[in-house]
Chains A and B, each alone.
Chain A
Amino acid sequence: MKTYADLAEMERKAQQTLDMALSRGAHTAEAQVHRRQEFEVEVRNGDIENLCEAEPFEVALTVSRDHRRASVHSCDWSAEALSDLVDQAMVLCKYTDRDTFYALPQKDQLATEFRELDAFDDDILDMSVVDKIAMAKELENKMLAIDSRLRSDGASMTTMVSATAIANSAGFCRAESRTVIGLGVSGFAEDTVAEGDLNTGRKQSGSWGTHRRHIEDLRSTDEVAALAARQVLRKIGARKPRTGNFPVYFEPAVARSIWGHLFSAMTGGSIYRNESFLVDALGTRIGSDLLEITEDPFIPRGQASQNYDREGVAKTRRKLVDRGNLETYLLSTYSANKLNMKTTGHAGGLTNLLIKPGTDDEESLIRKMNQGVWVTGVIGQGVNVSTGDYSRGAIGLWIENGEVAYPVMEFTLNSNLKTMLGNISMIGDNVQTDWSVQTPGFVISEMAVSGT
């Protein structure tokens, strides 16, 4: 197997930085060195629009002395620059206050077994620029061929090859390399508006993107083109829905955003700061009994698979939510110490999430829902994780008599995340695998819809 960069050399670099900090008075130190090779080409209307290439470097160091902590970052790996960086960190940590909760993980919490996650595809290293451009052009052509109303806002092909080494003075040091290949396309179409000429020039747009660790797992250009075209075409002719309380169906691409809010509320930092609607909710019911969420860090080739977190703590496969009960918070060593708990290996976030599907297909969910809104997109920052208050703009399809009646836009959805999770009344079988959060769509039995 090929690797990108000399991983042993990267481990040495991280360890050296660490040792330098310890020899200059640090009591603990964490170092991360990272490098990557990125490539992106965007084509529009059959011609290259952008071609970008770069090979950036990063080094990050956190030190503590007498429980006073400081962090420094740089993009310069030279021995001289690293030495300056360490000095800078040592000066900086004289200014911060003692924080006895800050510590590194216990030795027995560190990962010692490393599964083969198959996160590196040699073929991505060998792919030619010509082939990448051709693939983006092919994707754009396929989308444009689907419907004569479609125009292109560009198709892109990206590849990234990266290597990251993590080391800390608890005794962890390891480097790994990964690849990512991505494909995406955006389209738009003229839209017509029935009432007056207020919206002269209105268009509707949509896009689809997909990324994988291996070329052979990438969705076909046919599939991506079809998904993007659908995102545009089903919006044409959208109007405002009426105001009232209705059931709401979140299709998988949008369902993902709701899980994002849930995970943010489960994060240790939100909990110890008292800035989450899930404070004191561990072990209690937080949602419908249909709700089952599993984190699986070890899926071979999984978009977010990892053996260890940013602190080197071993990852585990676990249920986050089981039959509506909150099974865990997402803790780093620091937030665990603040809460008098143990780290769950979530320094740096989550890995692959699997939301348990139901048995209804999308058509059946809509039929059972009978009337309401099918949400295909959300917009705006109206979510307050601290209180759970939820108010966002949306776009979608109006459902009448169990069928799609017409597209709707320029309306809002309002509720509270606690209520929404409790009111998940149906979950579909349509799991979407394009992202690390693999979710089906679901129906919330009632939300306030504000339109006309």
Chain B
Amino acid sequence: MSLDLFRLSQESIQRILNRAMSRGGDFAEIFCEVSRFNSLVMEEGILKTAISSIEKGVGVRVVKGERTGYAYTERLDDASFLKIADTAAAIAEDKGSERSYALEQKPLTNRYAIDDPSTEVDLDKKIQWIIKANEHARAYSDLVTKVSISYTDHQRTILLADTRGRLFEDVQPMLRFSISAICEKDGERQTGRSGDGGRRGFSFVTADKVRKWAEDAVREALVLLEAKQAPAGMLPVILAPGDSGILLHEAIGHPLEADFNRKGTSAYADRLGHMVADPQCTIIDDGTIEHDRGSINVDDELNDSQRTVLIENGRLNTYMMDEISARYFDQESTGNGRRESYKYQPLPRMRTTYMLPGEYSADEIIGSTEHGIYCKTFKGGQVEISNGNFTFVPSEAYLIRDGKLSHPIKNFILIGNGPDVLSKVTMVGNDFAMGSGIWTCGKGQSVPVGVGLPTVKISEMTVGGQTA
């Protein structure tokens, strides 16, 4: 246990927890974090930026019903700890009683044990991969005019103790390799992007992967140079396996986060047990996949991570719970209470969200479509929780004509309504794939997440291109 790292001891934890509960409260917890971030960026063929940063702090939270008091400090001494405990305690109004919280260390099932953390690797080795990626990208096409490459890693060590007597420490590694390439032809300029990552060690980056990421980025830019304007109106939309899972993240993921349902703002409030999607849809939020970007051993309020079935054959099974919501719904937490850092209190957040495969082949699905859109890679998405409208933005996409992929298309966003789109999932493919390990979800706070999807056909969705 790295209690000393935060200048804490078993005794000081007792004092802080007692002070936090001095005005009553359902529970209190101490959240300690030290995070190291490193980032290297190559631009215009030179290693331009190297950034290194460290964040270290301690937060105390007191919860009473749906009320939360939270305070944090970066000054690690007993006086500061007791001060934040007092601030957090102010949320409750009763009288607490002095007691001893028998702290017991929670057992660890490590889903991201690595023996070569990137944060410990010599910079020269990382720089070699960046130089290689730059060479591969430039060698792939004469049309490449700019390449930028970034390599980032983050090691987050968290230590939690709570009034239920639980004590836990977790070391969460993360690395990410990203490439963007600009290609120009006849005065037109397009950007392609690629990359991958996860809770991995440095050996995750290999010569083959670096070459593939570099070439994928350039290839996407070249495809976009040939792309025509997308159409407007309602059309069938087919999503390629993998990163298309961003559809689930927006359309159903966010609206099933328990805070929106506890407060009644989500379209899915009071709909547990109801059919909310086509019966072909079984949707999972999973924090247990080995080395996945969205995986966690415990969440940021000490509850076990798990594989949570959100929707089973179209029926709504559960929301994604943090501790406050779980108590509200009188249920166990699903281990979705996550926070960006000690500067924030936890919220219900996704981990890795995906749909189980169905029975169709990709060829059958594309072949069934006379006139539609095929989306392969994505830039991101957004949702408005209350009315369920969500958008996501394809980068590489094609028009489908007579059951075949026709020319590439560009400059369009897709907009749909969550409940509506999930009832229009007409075919689910047998070719499930996880997305790339690059996604970050923003809900006031940023957390790493994953997505996955087989090929999926949505019978109609609004395509935001241009009119004929």
Contact = CB atoms under 8 A, between A and B. Distances in A.
Contact of A69 (B48, B66, B230, B415): B48
B465 interface: yes
Contact of B72 (A54, A448, A450, A451): A54
A294 interface: no
A74 B47 contact: no
Interface residues of B, number: 83
A429 to B, nearest CB: 30
B271 interface: yes
Interface string B265-290: 11111110000000000000000000
Interface residues of A, number: 78
Contacts of B127: 95
A245 interface: yes
Contacts of A55: 73
A151 B419 CA distance: 22
A412 B70 contact: no
A55 B84 CA distance: 10
Interface in B14-42: 40
Interface stretch (A135-143, A382-390, A398-406): A382-390
Q: Is the interface of A mostly helix, strand, loop or mixed?
A: strand
A98 B44 CA distance: 12
B50 A71 contact: yes
B73, B74, B385, B423 interface centre (most CB from chain A within 10 Å): B74
B71 interface: yes
Contacts of B270: 201
B219 interface: no
A395 B389 contact: yes
Contacts of B53: 72-74
A412 B46 contact: no
A47 interface: yes
Interface string A37-68: 00000001001111111111100000000000
Contacts of B413: 380-382, 391-393, 412
A205 interface: yes
Given A51-B68, A382-B391, A200 B271 contact: yes
B132 interface: no
Interface stretch (A235-243, A313-321, A343-351): A235-243
Interface string A400-432: 000000000111111010000000000000000
Given A51-B68, A54-B71, A410-B416, A450 B91 contact: no
Nearest to A69: B49
Nearest to A44: B263
A275 B386 contact: no
Interface string A196-222: 001111111100000000000000000
Contacts of A204: 386-387
Contact of A412 (B74, B145, B415): B415
Interface in B233-268: 233-234, 263-268
Given A199-B388, A382-B464, A411-B415, A52 B345 contact: yes
A203 B234 CA distance: 23
Nearest to A242: B233
Contacts of B464: 382, 391-393, 411-414, 450
A201 B412 contact: no
Contact of A203 (B47, B387, B410, B466): B387
Contacts of B69: 50-52
Rank and list the top 9 A-B pairs by shortest CB-CB distance, nearest first: A412-B464, A380-B391, A382-B413, A73-B53, A450-B232, A205-B386, A97-B46, A203-B386, A389-B411
28 contacts: A44-B66, A49-B67, A50-B67, A50-B68, A50-B345, A52-B70, A55-B73, A56-B72, A69-B50, A75-B55, A96-B46, A188-B265, A198-B417, A199-B267, A201-B270, A201-B419, A202-B387, A202-B419, A203-B265, A275-B191, A382-B411, A384-B191, A387-B411, A411-B415, A412-B391, A412-B413, A414-B232, A450-B467
Interface of A: 44, 47-57, 69-76, 88-89, 92-93, 95-99, 129, 151, 153-154, 188, 191, 198-205, 235, 238, 240, 243-245, 273-275, 377, 379-382, 384, 386-387, 389-393, 395, 409-414, 416, 448-452
